[in-house]
Structures are given as C-alpha cells and as structure tokens.
Amino acid sequence: MKTTVRVIAGAAQHVEGVPPHSVDLVVTSPPYPMIEMWDGVFGEQDSRILERLAAGRGLEAFEIMHSLLDSVWRECDRVLKPGGMICINIGDATRTVDSNFQLYSNHSRVLRAFFRHGYTALPDILWRKQTNAPNKFLGSGMLPVGAYVTYEHEYILILR
C-alpha cells in the first residue's frame, strides 16, 4: 500500500484542488471560539462577533464563531471518503462577558455539527495539559490561597 501525503495551504472553508470524497483522514486544531486570543481571527471573518462581545452577548458571539467553523466542517465532509475519519483537537472555554462568567462548550457544539451530517462519534481522547500557575486548581485536596477551578484538558474528538 502506498501512502501519499500532500500539504495544501489555504482557507479551510474551501480547499482548492481536493476532489470530493478523496481524503481518508483529516486532523485539525481550529481556533477555539470564546478564547480571547482568537477574537480577532473570528472578528475579521464576521464583524458581528466583536459587536456581540462588546454588547455583552457572549452566547450569540459563540454561535456566530461556530457558524464559521461549520463551513469548515462542511468542507471536511465534502473531501472525506465514505468511512473516512476526522480528528479535531478542541478545548472548551470559560470566559467572563459583561460580568457573566460561564462555560462555552466548544466540544459539544462541534459534535452537534457533525451529528447533523450523519457522523458517528468514537471514544474521544482527553488530553490533559499541565499548568504550573500557582493559583489554578484541578482535582481534590487542599485549595491554595486565591485558587480557582480551571480546565486543564482539551478534547481530541474522533468522528467517522
């Protein structure tokens, strides 16, 4: 069996030159919606995102960000062979918007998008990312002074 690897640079919403149903595996780690460092990347694609964030409407911004990713997932669906697989590294976000702290569940929103396309979720990989910040806390035991609970993991979703 011969394996062919080809790197294509460009917008993921439309991958030029890749025929439909020609790819066995897609591996990606997109920008994570509602992680502040990615606001500009999403905002350049749809100005409503920055407007919603400024207006304190975090859930609306979250959904618009994911609508941008949905176009990427449609393209992945277009190029994947029947029975092909996609692996997506995605983390959830916690964020305060307009004095409202909450969880934005990116992994579940991505799964929902793929379920709409008829994909099957296989067991995911929970990737634990260590932190050395003294005021972050995960697990049981004594809390250090000023501690707050934080996510120290990301998901690697595996879909077929």
Q: List pLDDT tens digits, range 71-121.
A: 999 999 999 999 999 999 999 999 999 999 999 999 999 999 999 999 999
Q: How confident is the model at residue 32, as a pLDDT?
A: 96
Q: How confident is the model at residue 129, as a pLDDT?
A: 78
Residue spans of the domains in the chain: they are 23-159
- Whether 140 shows a pLDDT value over 60: the answer reads no
Q: How confident is the model at residue 46, as a pLDDT?
A: 98
For 63-95, b/e burial (b = at least 16 CB within 10 A) is bbbbebbbebbebbbebbeeebbbbbbbbbbeb
Q: Quick one: fold of 23-159?
A: Rossmann fold (3.40.50)
Q: List pLDDT tens digits, range 25-55.
A: 999 999 999 999 999 999 999 999 999 999 9
Q: How confident is the model at residue 105, as a pLDDT?
A: 97
Global model pTM greater than 0.75: yes
Q: Provide the terminal-to-terminal Cα distance of the chain, rounded to the nearest Å.
A: 22
CA of 158: how far to CAs of 99, 125, 127, in Å?
Answer: 35, 8, 13
CA distance 160 to 155: 16
CA of 75: how far to CAs of 19, 22, 38, 51, 79, in Å?
Answer: 11, 12, 21, 27, 6
Q: How confident is the model at residue 147, as a pLDDT?
A: 61
Where residue 4 falls among pLDDT bands split at 50, 70, 90? confident
Q: How confident is the model at residue 148, as a pLDDT?
A: 61
Q: List pLDDT tens digits, range 9-28.
A: 788 899 888 999 999 999 99
